[in-house]
Amino acid sequence: MNPHLAQLQPYPFEKLRALFAGVTPNPQYKEIKLSIGEPQHPTPAFIMEALANGLKGLANYPTTQGIPALRQAIAAWCQRRYDLALNPETEILPVNGSREALFSFAQTVIDPSVSKTRGHVPLVVSPNPFYQIYEGAAYLAGAEPRFLNNLPGNDFAFDYGALSAEEWARVQLFYVCSPGNPTGKVLSLADWKTLFDLSDKYGFIIASDECYSEIYFDEANPPIGGLQAASLLGRTNERLVMFSSLSKRSNVPGMRSGFVAGDAAIIRKFLLYRTYHGCAMPPPVQTASVAAWNDEAHVLDNRNQYREKFAACTPLIAEVLGTGMPDASFYLWARVDKLAPISDSEFARGLLEHYNVVVLPGSFLAREANGVNPGAGFVRIALVASLAECLDAAARIRQFAQKL
């Protein structure tokens, strides 16, 4: 067996099941699940129709690079959204959702042989709290993760000082998540500049996870993308790759469709890796993805629904928990001890038991670094259910917190 498998942590939802073992949710209430980041707005009909129309493609093996029409649609979207002129032949690849790509990317770019030649294991930097795939990707690529705390006192910025110069020199890959899961934090152009300077100094690759890029609240201020930041700063996209997804943008998490774009030299190697990995996108999904990337009206409608939910629920919840509007994404990252001392796990357990609302303890989404678990004391509340259910959940959260 691959010994690195033993380094993998149980997924947060497994930890949640263990936490809730033996709890009987109050039967007076219907369950409201705000724990999983799974969009629940309906999939647009035109995407389903395009998927059905693509079924004839099942007669052929797809190529790993995907059909030109898909890469062109993605390039055109990147042009409209970020004012980028990407080459669809060399700078874009379709992927089966950003998750598999974020994972397999580490297998492509990490050079574990440095442990023999230089006597140290390569490092992969991750935000903290973070999306757990980054950690597993690092371990299975023969690297070690290093976590940079994102704490509210520092406006969720990276704690760059946590690594020594010796450690920075070992970093081969840096995962960034903007808009962040779970904090909702969006990196500014100045934040990107700091990150690019570090990448220039130490030579690491930046993997920019942008799967929440289209869930934002101010139409005049969409989140800056990593490649966009590089372009605005007059840089090339050397050592920089972005990961994007239709899952949240178009309410198609089951379709498994996204893309990677950026540094052509890296994309070429990633394509080689993926050819052997055998992860070409099924033809009907490619057809449906073209339709989805070409349409923006449904994305606006999607955002309007989140905007309405956040406007209605955030003030209600902020009266009893320490939270506020995120920069973007569909999560409220909320401190639980505003009214009374309680841990995030106790809060989540009690809320389920008394009010049948499921939220995720923040400590499950983070690792202890520098003596703190930056998720401890927080819960992640995903406003993915309908407006009525989210409002109902907010009312129950208020009742629960006020009785603590």
Ligand X SMILES: Cc1ncc(COP(=O)(O)O)c(C=O)c1O
Q: Which helix (H) or strand (E) holds 208?
A: strand 205-209
CB of 378 to ligand X, least distance (A): 16
Pick the binder of ligand X from 12, 32, 35, 37 (CB under 6 A). Answer: 37
CB of 186 to ligand X, least distance (A): 13
CB of 327 to ligand X, least distance (A): 14
Structure tokens at 78: 């990147």
Residues 178-217 that bind ligand X (CB under 6 A): 181, 209, 211
Answer yes or no whether residue 253 interacts with ligand X by CB under 6 A.
yes
Contact 204, 173 (CB under 8 A): yes
* Piece in contact with ligand X (CB under 6 A), picked from 13-21, 94-102, 185-193, 231-239: 94-102
Quick one: which of 298, 326, 321, 307 has its CA closest to 387? 307
Answer yes or no whether residue 131 interacts with ligand X by CB under 6 A.
yes
Answer yes or no whether residue 250 interacts with ligand X by CB under 6 A.
no
Structure tokens at 43: 């999939």
* Piece in contact with ligand X (CB under 6 A), picked from 92-100, 116-124, 226-234, 294-302: 92-100
Nearer to ligand X among residue 253 and residue 320 (C-beta): 253
Q: Looking at 83-113, list the stretches that DSSP marks H as alpha helix, in order from N- to C-terminal side.
A: 98-109
Amino acid at 284: P
Nearer to ligand X among residue 163 and residue 242 (C-beta): 242
Pick the binder of ligand X from 44, 70, 99, 365 (CB under 6 A). Answer: 99
Query: What strands lie across the sheet with 378-382, from one edge to the other?
Result: 331-335, 378-382, 360-361
Sequence-ordered list of residues with C-beta below 8 angstroms from that of 87, at least 6 positions apart, any chain? 75, 264
Pick the binder of ligand X from 225, 258, 326, 377 (CB under 6 A). Answer: 258
Nearer to ligand X among residue 37 and residue 377 (C-beta): 37
Nearer to ligand X among residue 37 and residue 226 (C-beta): 37
Amino acid at 241: V
* Piece in contact with ligand X (CB under 6 A), picked from 114-122, 198-206, 245-253, 283-291: 245-253
The reply to whether omega before 179 is within 30° of 0 (cis) is yes
Please count the CA atoms within 13 angstroms of the CA of 98 that sit on its side-chain side. Answer: 25
The reply to whether omega before 10 is within 30° of 0 (cis) is no
Binding site for ligand X (CB under 6 A): 37, 97-99, 131, 177, 181, 209, 211, 245, 247, 253, 258
